[in-house]
Structure 1
Amino acid sequence: MSTEDQAVGLVVASHGRHYAVALDGGGQRQCYTRGKKSGPAVGDRVTIRLEGDQEGVIIGIAPRRNLLYRSDATRSKQFAANLDQLLIVLAPEPEFSDDLTGRALVAAWSAGIEPVILLNKADLTAALARAQARLQPLVDLGVRVVTLSALDSGEVHHLLDPMLRNRRSLLLGQSGMGKSTLLNALAPDAGAATQAHSDALGTGRHTTTNTRLYTLPNGGELIDSPGFQAFGLQHLSAHDIEQGFPEFAPAIAHCRFYNCTHRHEPGCGVLEGVAHGGISPARHALYQRILEENEAAQRY
């Protein structure tokens, strides 16, 4: 195949097995993949074989720095690749899930991605204090929490532009947290761009299953992904899961056994930490749930 029939670019949108690729030399192609192996994610650098004037076949994916995704017994969902940070959108109302938030943090930390929590709907003052109290254990772990109102675009830009500039960020949140309002504040053309890509990818008016990369007017790239109601981590090994709980690291150095699972072994530094208040029992319970889910999946 002649190199003249090929091009290199960045995946900027995905829907199922259809992708929009922005070419390095300018222009954009609607692309697809062949075969059943895992395909590219938004944020991937890819090589495509050109077809006609507007389409292409993705034939290669460049090595990734990281890949954030979730998986359970039935399916996996790739969020994005080559990320600098994960922005987890929460709100006081409707009540967010501590379990899902914890799982998103595990996914980020195990992939070497910096997580930041954006606590939206700051105008809900009565519920805000309760939400902040629930997040305090994560703040104690060093997780940055930015409190804001997505309805105040000036405040949004003041708080977030410095941390978004020159970085690629993924915007992720449970349904109802105000993620779309926040996206529109940061990327004013997001609604129009999403609809244009939905039309181009043949996905109709409902764009909630699209993942899309936006170049921000004040610098940086922001990837928007659909809301989620589950966050399985069955692709992670036991070691990966352990990496998702960085507060365990100092205690692990004191474990009696090198292959300690931190669940029942005598002389376990992590269990000692839980018993004496150095490690959150809720975080340790989440660690055990994830391990048990993955072990159950491997048995079947």
Structure 2
Amino acid sequence: MPTEPTVQGRVVAVHGRHYGVELSDGQVHKCFPRGKKADAAVGDYVQVRFQGNEEGVIEKRLDRKNLLYRSDEMRTKQFAANVDLLLLVVATTPAFSDDLIGRALVAARAADIDTIIVLNKADLTESLAEARARLAPFRDAGVPIVELSALDTAQTKAKLLEHIGGKTALLLGQSGMGKSTLLNALVPDAAAHTQAHSVALDAGKHTTTATRLYHLPQSGDLIDSPGFQNFGLFHLDPTAIEGGFAEFEPFLGDCRFYNCTHRHEPGCAILAAKAAGNIKPERHALYERILAENEAQQRY
């Protein structure tokens, strides 16, 4: 029996070992990995082989330029690949986590992904000043911040589409930040796409917690993911972690010791910059926490 040739597609949805793979004709097919290892993520390009039906086998994952992880207390899991831009959604209310923003920025810089912080619900002026003040350290570190109200569809498109055009952007945020409203403003038929992915995966309502890729009506792609609680950073070594802090960059290489950890060593340029007010204490404290957590993880 002749073997069918492989075709290239892109993973647009994942549910367990079920992959929704979109081919060049725009159709989404249910596919499975060959063997026990399932190492593809939403955004990956893959080679798929079909055997005369609608289901296919993923024969090969093509090289990716980056990969992002999410984690909880139990494990770290890959969830998005080949991302050009991170849209990190926060809101004036409810309160967002500075710690999670900081970790997301470290992960993005380590993966060479540009980031924009989207401050949603900017029309709620009574809490806008406080939100701006809390985001000031990230703005000072060079992260662009776009203020908008996702309920204003025209405003949302005007402020964000120019950044996403021709790119794959990842929409990320904690629950309650208005991420779904923002998605619906950018992708009016997102619900229809979600249903199509669900049918392709035979996963029904359970795919509401899945990561998915949508095509923007104008140009570019948007990967939406469930509200996150933590970022997977255990795969990063100390060099990648220090490189995740943009404000460290002007001082790296100026320490007295070549293997300086920037925590306690004499002649440390990073500690001197913190003492001089050029690095925020809370940002350096996050750096120390991430290093300590990764060191503790390696001991187990």
**Is this contact kept in 2: 1:195–1:205, CA < 8 A?**
no
Mapped partners of 2:50, 2:84: distance in 1:
30
* Aligned amino acid, residue 113 of structure 2: I
In structure 2, the residue matched to 1:96 is 96
**Is this contact kept in 1: 2:173–2:179, CA < 8 A?**
yes
**Is this contact kept in 2: 1:91–1:131, CA < 8 A?**
yes
Please, what TM-score do these two structures have when normalized by structure 2?
Answer: 0.95
SS in 2 for 1:29: strand
**Is this contact kept in 1: 2:11–2:22, CA < 8 A?**
yes
Mapped partners of 1:151, 1:25: distance in 2:
33
- Deviation, 1:231, is 2.3
Matches within 5 A, 1:1-300: 4-24=4-24, 27-71=27-71, 74-300=74-300
CA gap 1:3/1:27 in 2 versus in 1, 3 angstroms = farther
Identity %: 62
Further displaced range: 77-86 or 178-187:
77-86
Alignment coverage as a number of residue pairs:
300
- Deviation, 1:72, is 5.4
**Is this contact kept in 1: 2:9–2:46, CA < 8 A?**
yes
Mapped partners of 2:89, 2:109: distance in 1:
17
Further displaced range: 262-271 or 192-201:
192-201
CA gap 1:210/1:6 in 2 versus in 1, 3 angstroms = same
Mapped partners of 1:69, 1:50: distance in 2:
29
- Deviation, 1:95, is 0.2
Mapped partners of 2:206, 2:28: distance in 1:
22
Mapped partners of 1:26, 1:181: distance in 2:
25
- Deviation, 1:248, is 0.9
Further displaced range: 88-97 or 234-243:
234-243
Q: Deviations over 1:2-54 (max 9, x none)?
A: 66342211111112221111123553321112444351111111011213421
Mapped partners of 1:267, 1:37: distance in 2:
47
Moved over 6 A (4+): none
Mapped partners of 1:110, 1:3: distance in 2:
41
CA gap 1:190/1:251 in 2 versus in 1, 3 angstroms = same
Mapped partners of 2:209, 2:290: distance in 1:
26
Mapped partners of 2:276, 2:26: distance in 1:
59
* Aligned amino acid, residue 189 of structure 1: D
Mapped partners of 1:244, 1:37: distance in 2:
30
Mapped partners of 2:163, 2:232: distance in 1:
28
SS in 1 for 2:93: coil
Where structure 1 has 5 or more consecutive residues not aligned to the other structure, the ranges are none
Further displaced range: 57-66 or 198-207:
198-207
SS in 2 for 1:4: coil
Mapped partners of 1:106, 1:38: distance in 2:
26
Mapped partners of 2:241, 2:167: distance in 1:
26
- Deviation, 1:87, is 0.4
CA gap 1:72/1:263 in 2 versus in 1, 3 angstroms = farther
SS in 1 for 2:4: helix
Further displaced range: 229-238 or 169-178:
229-238
**Is this contact kept in 2: 1:72–1:234, CA < 8 A?**
no
**Is this contact kept in 2: 1:119–1:145, CA < 8 A?**
yes
Further displaced range: 86-95 or 35-44:
35-44
Further displaced range: 289-298 or 248-257:
248-257
SS in 2 for 1:205: helix
**Is this contact kept in 1: 2:142–2:246, CA < 8 A?**
no
- Deviation, 1:210, is 1.2
Mapped partners of 1:30, 1:214: distance in 2:
17
Q: Deviations over 1:73-116 (max 9, x none)?
A: 62222231111100001001110000000000000001100011
Task: Please provide the CA RMSD for this pair.
Answer: 1.6
- Deviation, 1:202, is 2.4
Please, what TM-score do these two structures have when normalized by structure 1?
Answer: 0.95
Mapped partners of 1:291, 1:281: distance in 2:
15
Further displaced range: 87-96 or 203-212:
203-212
CA gap 1:192/1:291 in 2 versus in 1, 3 angstroms = same
Where structure 2 has 5 or more consecutive residues not aligned to the other structure, the ranges are none
* Aligned amino acid, residue 22 of structure 1: E
